[in-house]
Amino acid sequence: MGKREHSDRSEGHAGSAVTYVPENPIIVQSDHTILVEVASPHFDAARDALVAFAELVKSPEYVHTWRLTPLSLWNAAAAGHTAEQVISTLERWAKFPVPASIPDSVRDRMKKYGALSLVRDGEWLRLEGREWSDIEAIRSLKAVDDLVDDSDGSGLRVHPRRRGELKQALIAFGHPVEDLAEFNDGEALAMRLSQTTPQGRSWSMRDYQVAAVDAFHGGPGAGCGVVVLPCGAGKTLVGVAAMVRLGMRTLILCTGHTALQQWRAEILRRTTLTEDDVGEYSSQKKEIRPVTLTTYQLLTWRRDKKAAPAHIGLFHQGRWGLIIYDEVHLLPAPVFREVAGVQARRRLGLTATLVREDGLEGDVFALIGPKRFDIPWRSLEARGWIATARCVEVRIPLTDIDRARYLQLGARERFVLASKNVRKGAVLTELLDRHAQDQILVLGTYIDQLEWLARRFKVPLVTGKTSRAERDTLFRAFRAGECRVLVLSKVGNFAVDLPNATVAVQVSGSWGSRQEEAQRLGRVLRAKEGSNQAVFYSLVSEDTREQEMAERRQLFLAEQGYPYRIEHIQ
């Protein structure tokens, strides 16, 4: 392995001979950051190992920076990883000795998960601590005074209605709670997975999908948590299979009506449930059936700003045994508040990325549950389950006139001007010619920019104002190959099932949104016949605020192993 020893007199290693492994890629630092050298022959293996317990902070060309955070380590603990496994991984890939303070810190942080647990105590719940000092620490917090009752010598009594509020409050103070209080069973629903599709084709679940369902339903705290899978890897099927295994009435929350219809079709295709069993609770219909589908938009709709959400009571109108939150990282605040009150129901969150730009990942952890299953995107790519994707950032200079205007604007206005760089039109022309035989999605944020591109290239545009009928017609034409290029606004970020799309061109984005970048790449990740290849272009104005935000947007994808090749336009 090319190892050599030298004397290291740094903290924790004074006077001892330690091992230096030059080909290893990571340097662990005492401030919990981890530097990872991209050129190392072991970069891919080390990155895939780090995904389980660390978060990527930045990813320039040569050295990536990761960080061990309390939440990343708690999620690792909830998923079954031990502190010793984390420490062993760091030592396995470290170029230099791991600072002596890091193993102790990892152990201290990871043992926090499980130090406090909620258990059933008759009609009440009880917050127990691994040590009595853990309970004393909680008792001293004023923020939880009205959430817990007096101690009975073995813990603190908690009213079942305050279950979610307590977990949410405690995680803000660095005290994750392992919820072992069990759940109320919903009304039973007889169903099973079908063996064939309506067209008579046999099918079976993939091994990682089965593992995800097993992880959700098995182990301590089973019945609440988040499954993380890339777009195109079958998250919906995981949700359907989890529902079938439980066999109870289910409420499913979707990102929009298109997603709702796709969920409905998948349920009817994959299970023995009939159309009479599956209801739609939307602006057009108010069906409450054994399996009911609704949207976040409807649940948060209110008649006026002062009124409570008009339909939020749906959480309590059915005897639900399971609530599924599709794209759980998008949960709006009113739904968060309601989730806090339905902790006695089993909860499954599905997402491609747990990243939230508002920093509320901790609330997802507390109220939906910890991460139960995750898998590196590139490992699925290697097995052909999702397309092999190539990411390209095309840097485009501003015109002289726009550069002069740019320098006179504030930060927000600079970003908008750079995003709408008129030179992106010429670059898009070149890319459409380069991929003349491919099905192409053009993705953007600003409607006026997208309307201009749709007119310029004489291609259809889908926005939030496009009628449902027209949208469905355009999607069918694209799937059939009758429409080769389709322009999509932010409505295309989620639940747009266009599996034959092989090229995506992002002309503008929402600031530094890592989740949006991941979702947009996901539009072309579904496995394809033949070469199973996809390309994702991001058009970025060079030396501008947009370029700075692009570096942030790409973080999550870099974490999953998708480097961006840079192309410069003169």
Helix/strand/coil (H/E/C) assignment for every residue in 237-277:
HHHHHHHHHHCECEEEEECCHHHHHHHHHHHHHHECCCHHH
Residues 6+ apart with CB under 8 A from 373: 79, 211, 212, 215, 216, 227, 228, 229
Long-range contacts of 474-478 (CB under 8 A, 24+ apart): 478/439
What does the DSSP assignment read for 318-375? S--SEEEEETGGG--HHHHHHHTT-TTSEEEEEES----TTSTHHHHHHHT--EEE--
- Residue 200 domain flag: no
* Other residues' Cβ atoms within 10 Å of the Cβ of residue 330: 17
Are 65 and 52 within one domain?
Answer: yes
pLDDT at 177 over 90: yes
Are 540 and 398 within one domain?
Answer: yes
Contact (CB, 8 A) for 157 and 126: yes
Kindly report, residue by residue over 234-260, the tens digit of the pLDDT.
Answer: 999 999 999 999 999 999 999 888 899
pLDDT of res. 14: 40
Contact (CB, 8 A) for 77 and 225: no
pLDDT at 68 over 50: yes
Task: Show which of 110, 138, 163 is a domain's final residue.
Answer: 110
pLDDT of res. 152: 65
Per the DSSP assignment, residues forming a β-bridge with 278 are: 291
- Residue 157 domain flag: yes
Kindly report, residue by residue over 104-155, the tens digit of the pLDDT.
Answer: 999 999 999 999 999 999 889 999 999 888 898 898 898 888 888 876 667 8
Nearest of 126, 114, 227, 117 to residue 179 by alpha carbon: 117
**Alpha carbon 560 to chain centroid distance?**
12
- Residue 25 domain flag: yes
pLDDT of res. 562: 86
Confidence category of residue 96, pLDDT binned at 50, 70, 90:
very high
The C-alpha atoms of residue 251 and residue 320 are separated, in whole angstroms, by 6
The C-alpha atoms of residue 118 and residue 125 are separated, in whole angstroms, by 7
Are 365 and 261 within one domain?
Answer: yes
Kindly report, residue by residue over 509-554, the tens digit of the pLDDT.
Answer: 998 888 899 889 989 999 888 889 999 999 999 999 999 999 989 9
- Residue 46 domain flag: yes
pLDDT of res. 16: 43
Confidence category of residue 18, pLDDT binned at 50, 70, 90:
low
Domain that holds residue 173: 116-179
Contact (CB, 8 A) for 46 and 27: no
DSSP 492: G
What is the Rg, in whole angstroms, of the alpha carbon atoms belonging to the chain?
25
Are 507 and 547 within one domain?
Answer: yes
pTM: predicted TM-score of the whole model, two decimal places: 0.86
- Residue 186 domain flag: no
Confidence category of residue 215, pLDDT binned at 50, 70, 90:
very high
Task: Show which of 375, 394, 409 is a domain's final residue.
Answer: 375
Q: Which residue has the higher pLDDT, 336 or 483?
A: 483
Are 371 and 385 within one domain?
Answer: no
Are 368 and 384 within one domain?
Answer: no
pLDDT of res. 13: 42
Kindly report, residue by residue over 445-480, the tens digit of the pLDDT.
Answer: 999 999 999 999 999 999 989 998 999 999 999 999
Contact (CB, 8 A) for 339 and 367: yes
- Residue 543 domain flag: yes
Task: Show which of 110, 131, 146 is a domain's final residue.
Answer: 110
Contact (CB, 8 A) for 322 and 248: yes
Distances (CA, A) of 444 to 14, 415, 431, 448: 56, 14, 16, 10
> Angle, nearest 10°, between helix axes 411-419 and 545-553?
80
- Residue 513 domain flag: yes
Are 214 and 360 within one domain?
Answer: yes
pLDDT of res. 283: 86
112-134 CB burial, b ≥16 within 10 A, e <16: bbbbbbbbebeeebbbbbeeeeb
pLDDT of res. 9: 35
Write the CATH number for 315.
3.40.50.300
pLDDT of res. 354: 82
Residues 6+ apart with CB under 8 A from 439: 478, 481, 484, 498, 500, 501, 502, 503
pLDDT of res. 75: 92
The C-alpha atoms of residue 346 and residue 474 are separated, in whole angstroms, by 37
Q: Torsion angle, CA of 551/509/228/256, rounded to 10 degrees? A: 170
Are 68 and 142 within one domain?
Answer: no
The C-alpha atoms of residue 176 and residue 325 are separated, in whole angstroms, by 21
Residues of the chain with pLDDT > 70, as a percent, come to 96
Contact (CB, 8 A) for 99 and 11: yes
Q: Torsion angle, CA of 254/255/258/262, rounded to 10 degrees? A: -40
Are 368 and 394 within one domain?
Answer: no
pLDDT of res. 6: 38
- Beta-carbon-side half-sphere exposure of residue 309 (alpha carbons within 13 Å): 19
Nearest of 7, 46, 33, 29 to residue 99 by alpha carbon: 29
DSSP 196: B
pLDDT at 17 over 70: no
- Residue 190 domain flag: no
pLDDT at 442 over 60: yes
The C-alpha atoms of residue 298 and residue 286 are separated, in whole angstroms, by 11
What value does the mean pLDDT take over residues 431-442?
A: 96
The C-alpha atoms of residue 72 and residue 433 are separated, in whole angstroms, by 44
**Alpha carbon 397 to chain centroid distance?**
32
Q: Which residue has the higher pLDDT, 301 or 546?
A: 546
Are 405 and 523 within one domain?
Answer: yes
Residues 6+ apart with CB under 8 A from 265: none
pLDDT of res. 375: 85
pLDDT at 95 over 90: yes
Number of domains composing the chain: 4
Are 559 and 461 within one domain?
Answer: yes
Q: What angle do CA 381, 387, 393 make, to 5 degrees?
A: 100
What value does the mean pLDDT take over residues 335-359?
A: 87
Are 449 and 476 within one domain?
Answer: yes
Residue 496: what residue type?
V
